[in-house]
């Protein structure tokens, strides 16, 4: 690893889950910003090809990236990486993230998302590495009572996935309050969509997608027959649900802004920021924008509302704007353009052929390989 | 270990934290009820002498007890014990429990109480051992809005200790809802006091006690000069705070009742029960009862109210009475009588001389010995 002469010489950031959707885009952004980046990822819901492409896209800065295949549930492996690097901060993306699956199989969610995080925090604490950006989610607001959602809106969660996010937030508030050396920023993402403008990085969900955009994409590339729209009788402009979609590239710059804030604000404590555009977009508007970007028609099927879904969710953007100096730059047209470029260039995601879905039992049992690349074995 | 011919032949119960205050009394009760008992305890806030006394007090049934010095943070050690025994159920007491300390050092609380529990649940799940009694606390009700507190009262917590209890409760609700093979009973204790009537088992807090009764006891035996009473201007009978004290022997029979309920109720799901007497007792009433039992005077000092303390807390007892067929048998006089017998017979608790307070850093780092007794090494 060479020392770069960019904006952040010598600063080395650990990115857990850096091979995943938001993690890969953020890792690329950090490299371009001049950071050194070390990725830890267990690759159970991501793949090393994403990391290779991050290196490519970073050009000369790609030399500043290292990747370790490590499961955070294996504390000895985490410690081994900390033995090799002095991290200035950690951005913690790693975790399982499918709401429906978390209801069916909560234990692996608690083990991966909570136990894994506690191993990481324990090692960080021991090594005196106490700057932390945590990937949370708008899901911690449950069904918001009013919009826009602000960072002070009521927190309550409706499923085990959301609970893992809220529980880590609670832990971080306590840990940061007790020890002023800790600096924590919690980022609550609204609905991440889109892909890197090159079309080389994007979301590659295994199994059935959980969110609207990957569904639209799979219909567009012919992997699914039609898009099911759940409810067209909401009290919204066109009757379909309204959400706050945010381009993954804007999330990447949001993480970079959060990192800057951490380094420059000793009294940040544990502070949460919503990351969204502040604009609500309906399902039918997304479909129309995607059809325009792709130049094709998305067949729709209208179904009943899903229990638990609410009609309109979007965020206030004031706090992130004022305190992080960050604002989303991309609108729905850019999101769909880049989503389609990724989709059409990579109809099977990062994999040349379709692989098996993840074996959650194996996840629950923690019996993943702990062997890391770069000649490190624990 | 011999197979007993009592009420529960062949049934083997894992008791984590079985060397602790409530754990030791419950382990004795289970032995007398005819269960086989295996204790796992890391002994960081308890000692093996308590286990030896349980064996003594159990008489012939003492043969049915095994003890392993195991920290739940060491998953391999937990697995090694499960390799040797087939458990029919687990009663999970193990955890750190001092509110004030949890505010000052939350990370070890999350690691011991959450990570330790997740290791245990993961191993239980893998071995198909899915009957679980969890030690929770009335602390999950925060400052109750009204009394009596029922199991449906609002849950919210005021400190990291309470948060670890509530988070495990939340996990258990999700895990039990997703897999009908799991049967979980959550027991929310009010204020455990008293000791075994023999005077040979009791509470042996390290460092400064957190609760009223150990303070009273330490003043009585001359280890402290006076008892500080926080607030005598509450809207109660004598101006001091009112709580629901419960004899530890009643808690022990409460756990036995919960275990019986687990074995006989396939659809128990995840059910919570409050364990208390249903009676409120003021600080001054406790002091008077203790003075009567001990035949001495407790010097008092009145101080300001503590922020966060509420005036009156006591529980409803209907649910535990009806569904567990359990009711507390001991009143405040028995509690003070047995507390005094324990105190006067064991002025230094289980230890002949005073030892150092626990090193929480060592706890946080998980670097406890994993070596177990009974010739088992992992």
Chain A residues lying within 8 Å of B167, measured CB to CB: 167, 170
- ipTM score here? 0.90
Q: Give the phi and the psi of residue A357 in degrees, each rounded to 5.
A: -65, 165
**pLDDT value of residue A206:** 77
Q: Is A161 one of the annotated active-site residues of the chain?
A: yes
Return the exposure string of B86-121: e unless at least 16 CB atoms fall within 10 Å of the residue's CB, then b. Answer: ebbbbbbbbbbbbbebbbebbbbbbbbbbbbbbbbb
Quick check: A125 and B364 CB within 8 A? yes
**pLDDT value of residue A108:** 98
**pLDDT value of residue A10:** 74
Over residues B253-303, the pLDDT tens digits come to 999 999 999 999 999 999 999 999 999 999 999 999 999 999 999 999 999
Of the candidates A126, A160, A178, which has its C-beta nearest B174's C-beta? A160
Size of interface A-B (CB pairs under 8 A): 84
pLDDT over 70 (residue B370): no
pLDDT per residue, tens digit, chain A (378 aa), is: 333 345 566 799 999 999 999 999 999 999 999 999 999 999 999 999 999 999 999 999 999 999 999 999 999 999 999 999 999 999 999 999 999 999 999 999 999 999 999 999 999 999 999 999 999 999 999 999 999 999 999 999 999 999 999 999 999 999 999 999 999 999 999 999 999 999 999 998 877 777 899 999 989 988 889 999 999 999 999 999 999 999 999 999 999 999 999 999 999 999 999 999 999 999 999 999 999 999 999 999 999 998 878 899 999 999 999 999 999 999 999 999 999 999 999 988 898 755 544 444 433 343 333 223 443 334
Residue B116: closest C-alpha in chain A: A115
Quick check: A174 and B106 CB within 8 A? yes
For residue A301, the SS3 value is strand
Q: Cα(A217)–Cα(A290) distance, rounded to whole angstroms?
A: 9
Chain B residues lying within 8 Å of A160, measured CB to CB: 171, 174
**pLDDT value of residue B139:** 96
**pLDDT value of residue A353:** 53
Chain B residues near any Cβ of chain A (below 8 Å): 75, 103-107, 110-111, 114-115, 118-119, 121-122, 125-126, 160, 163, 167, 170-171, 174-175, 177-178, 364-366
């Amino acid at each position: 690893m060479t020392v770069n002469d960019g904006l952040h010489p010598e600063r080395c950031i650990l990115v857990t889950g850096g091979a995943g959707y938001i993690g890969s885009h953020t890792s690329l952004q950090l490299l371009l910003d001049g950071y050194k980046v070390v990725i830890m990822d267990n690759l159970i819901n991501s793949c090393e090809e994403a990391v290779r492409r991050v290196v490519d896209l970073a050009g000369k800065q790609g030399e500043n990236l290292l990747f370790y295949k490590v499961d955070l549930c294996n504390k000895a492996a985490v410690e081994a990486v900390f033995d090799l690097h002095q991290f200035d901060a950690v951005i913690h993306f790693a975790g399982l993230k499918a709401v429906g699956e978390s209801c069916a199989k909560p234990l692996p969610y608690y083990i991966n998302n909570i136990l894994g995080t506690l191993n990481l925090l324990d090692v960080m604490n021991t090594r005196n590495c106490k700057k932390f950006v945590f990937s949370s989610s708008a899901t911690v607001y449950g069904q918001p009572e009013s919009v826009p959602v602000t960072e002070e809106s009521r927190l309550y969660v409706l499923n085990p996935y959301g609970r893992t996010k809220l529980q880590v937030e609670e832990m971080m508030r306590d840990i940061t309050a007790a020890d002023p050396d800790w600096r924590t920023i919690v980022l609550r993402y609204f609905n991440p969509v889109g892909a890197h403008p090159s079309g080389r990085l994007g979301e590659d969900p295994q199994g059935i997608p959980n969110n609207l955009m990957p569904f639209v994409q799979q219909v567009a590339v012919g992997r699914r027959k039609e898009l099911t729209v759940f409810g067209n009788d909401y009290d919204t402009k066109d009757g379909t649900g309204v959400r706050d979609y945010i381009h993954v590239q804007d999330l990447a710059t949001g993480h970079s802004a959060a990192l800057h804030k951490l380094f420059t604000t000793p009294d940040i404590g544990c502070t949460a920021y919503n990351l969204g555009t502040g604009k609500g977009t309906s399902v039918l508007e997304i479909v129309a924008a995607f059809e325009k970007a792709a130049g094709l028609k998305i067949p729709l099927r209208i179904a009943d509302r899903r229990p638990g879904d609410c009609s309109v969710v979007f965020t206030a953007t004031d706090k992130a704007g004022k305190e992080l100096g960050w604002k989303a730059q991309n609108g729905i047209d850019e999101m769909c353009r880049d989503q389609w470029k990724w989709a059409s260039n990579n109809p099977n995601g990062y994999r040349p052929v379709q692989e098996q879905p993840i074996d959650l039992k194996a996840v629950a049992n923690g019996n993943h390989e702990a062997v890391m690349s770069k000649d490190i074995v624990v």
